[in-house]
Structure 1
Amino acid sequence: MKDEIFDITIVGAGPVGLYATYYAGLRDMKAKLIDALPQLGGQLTALYPEKFIYDVAGFPKILAKDLAENLISQAMQYEPTVCLSEKIVNLEKIEGGNILKLTSESGSVHLSKSVVLTLGIGAFVPRKLDIPDVQRLEGRGIHYIIKDKSIFKGKNILIVGGGDSAVDWALNLEGIAKNITLIHRRDVFKAHEDSLKKLLNSTVHVKTFYELKRVHGDEHVEGATIFDNRNGEETYLEVEHIILSLGFLANLEFIQGWGLEIDKNAIKVNSKMETNIPGIYAAGDIAGYFGKLKLISTGFGEAAIAVNSAKNYIDPSSKFFPGHSSDFVPKKIKPG
């Protein structure tokens, strides 16, 4: 049986991949969406479904899981082929042709005329602290990923970190937790300015120049010792939960043999989201270029550019810019 060849294959079903899938349908492309996770949504559903997101156009704030649900509904209206729990380990051009061959870890083969890589930061693992008992109490009061905010109701919480994730969780859990302390090893945060204003006007106890020294507890976290890194002064906190928001380590080793040009943990692209291999595009956090801004909203625009570039690549007679979606009625919702 001859393998089915798709117009476009999107690898990575996070927010950018879902929007790329939708846009491929808008351009009447036969699309396939592949992801290594068992569900759609990427980090939105796998890492922080209960966290509010504030920087997506059209939503003053929206829960990550709700944004994922909306994106999935939007992407599925053109009935793309979806393959989950499929980790792509090889991508190459079939000799003598313009067809791209993707091979999964299980040995499944996918053929496509073009490919858009929306892999986020690749295989991600949380940054961890080399502190006694942290690893022992992971899942028993030590958290890197939060899927259910209700477990913090009425509890004392320590949050470690100074980026958007740490600040967002502190604000998200205010009013749910009994008491929240956020510590950061410096007095300069990497969070958005508006979030910092809200944090400093909240009930969260913010302690700068403090770091986590020890975790206490037998079967579950019972407390933490923090210290002032300027003078070594220690403070004991009674807490039931510790959220380590230290970021995630990107791992792009699995794409090293694909022939793509990699720079600083990103795939190099030009203004049309083209990689150094014709027919292969990248969008979202995985795509790198001068002036890159790693936001979901930025990724949406890059996804549209990548799909339009792919459409023009496989069909040179088509326009790169098809016009505005408001200029026509998508075929799926035409009356009659």
Structure 2
Amino acid sequence: MLTSQEKEVLDLIIIGGGPTGMFAGFYAGMRKMSAVVIDSMPQLGGQLAALYPEKHIFDVAGFPKVTGQELVNQLERQLKAFPIAVRLEEKVLQVIKEEERLFRIVTNKEVYLGRSVIIAGGVGAFEPRRLELPGGREVPHKGVHYYINDIESFRGQDVIVLGGGDSAVDWSLMLEGVAASVSLIHRRDKFRAHEHSVDKLMKSTVNVLVSTDVVKVTGDGRLEALTVLNKPSGETQELKCDSLIVNYCFISSLGPVAEWGLDIENNSIRVDSRMETSIPGIFAAGDITTYPGKLKLIAVGLGEAPTAVNNAKVYTDPTAKLSPGHSSHMKF
């Protein structure tokens, strides 16, 4: 017998409450679709809220810069313009296609029925790549950070940042006016960060060391210094360090998503130009997707969300228009 939860068939089930999922929920409201956003985290915002609440984001149109939490707050405010249900701390275990335009979504708490599905699960389950010294021993010292939730906690400290991507470069620049000193150590000779950010870095007071590895950590339980090796010269030097911020990217896993019968490539879901997966009626958007020329940027995910929603609308209602026109023509 169906439960009361199962009896309601929603137009759209959105799996993932990060920026892409939140904007998909808002846009579903624009298309007058009944929808629910489901996320395993205790709050909306995905990685932005969990890992980068105080980090500046530069790739969202209309914001010269905005912190991760500020962007999440604005997206949540936007989402509340429509009666879109939000279910937090629920992990989606199964997505089952019962028939055309009817999907059963099983979580660790409930069972939902929907006419279409959008998977906006970011990079899936994730954890930071840990700093290991030669021999594979992880550094256990206090003062080693993989996330930053309060930039003020580094005020007056000697801080070292490890990494060569946008996060490492951006954190280094943001800490420049807070910490007593900032050093950025990159294992390679070229950065993966945006060129403009790298130019700012090179003009800053940040001590930049490239082609350099950490070979020793000094401190009795509490971090005191790092010994680093410049690989081209073979020379070592010791750097004073109160706090070490490791930005060696994240190890991600699709988790249960990998078992849903979708076409997966390199830990991502393959989609077509409509953001539809290999299963008709299941769409995907954001960092979890892949297609030729795919860029993993917040701005890209925010653009993919309306494409996925509009095509989900047509899937659930073949008489509907793919696009209702410019949003500036709509009234709230």
Matched, 1:207 2:209: yes
Offset, 1:108: 1.9
Q: 2:105 — aligned with what?
A: 102
The CA distance in 2 between the partners of 1:304 and 1:97, in whole Å, is 22
Match of 1:211, SS state, is strand
Q: 2:101 touches 2:315 (CA, 8 Å); kept in 1?
A: no
Matched, 1:77 2:81: yes
State, as a whole percentage, how many aligned pairs show the same letter. Answer: 46
Match of 1:159, SS state, is strand
The CA distance in 2 between the partners of 1:220 and 1:147, in whole Å, is 20
The CA distance in 1 between the partners of 2:207 and 2:245, in whole Å, is 14
Q: 2:245 — aligned with what?
A: 243
Match of 2:22, SS state, is helix
Q: 2:183 — aligned with what?
A: 181
Within-5 A mapping of 1:1-336: 1-2=3-4, 3=6, 4-94=8-98, 96-104=99-107, 106-131=108-133, 134-137=138-141, 140-330=142-332
Q: Deviations over 1:200-224 (max 9, x none)?
A: 0101000111111122222321111
Match of 1:225, SS state, is strand
Moved more, 157-166 or 123-132: 123-132
Offset, 1:272: 0.3
Q: Deviations over 1:116-158 (max 9, x none)?
A: 0011111111111222774422xx2111111110110000011
- TM-score scaled by structure 2? 0.95
The CA distance in 2 between the partners of 1:316 and 1:133, in whole Å, is 57
The CA distance in 1 between the partners of 2:53 and 2:156, in whole Å, is 21
Offset, 1:109: 1.0
Q: Deviations over 1:253-303 (max 9, x none)?
A: 321210000011110000000001111000000111000011111111100
The CA distance in 1 between the partners of 2:90 and 2:236, in whole Å, is 48
Offset, 1:186: 1.4
The CA distance in 1 between the partners of 2:138 and 2:278, in whole Å, is 43
The 3 A distance-change label for structure 1 pair 19 and 198 is same
Match of 2:265, SS state, is coil
The 3 A distance-change label for structure 1 pair 241 and 133 is farther
- Aligned letter for 2:62? G
Aligned residues: 326
Q: 1:134 touches 1:142 (CA, 8 Å); kept in 2?
A: no
- TM-score scaled by structure 1? 0.94
- Aligned letter for 1:99? L
Q: Deviations over 1:236-260 (max 9, x none)?
A: 1111000111101121132121000
- Aligned letter for 2:68? A
The CA distance in 2 between the partners of 1:317 and 1:272, in whole Å, is 17
Q: Deviations over 1:18-58 (max 9, x none)?
A: 11010000000001000010000111110010100111100
Q: CA RMSD in A?
A: 1.2
| 4+ runs deviating over 4 angstroms | none
The CA distance in 2 between the partners of 1:161 and 1:61, in whole Å, is 22
Q: Deviations over 1:134-183 (max 9, x none)?
A: 4422xx21111111101100000111110101001001111100000001
Instruction: Please identify which structure carries the higher strand content.
Output: 2
Q: 1:134 touches 1:215 (CA, 8 Å); kept in 2?
A: no
The CA distance in 1 between the partners of 2:37 and 2:326, in whole Å, is 24
- Aligned letter for 1:89? L
Q: 2:90 touches 2:109 (CA, 8 Å); kept in 1?
A: no
Match of 1:326, SS state, is helix
Match of 1:284, SS state, is coil
Offset, 1:97: 4.9
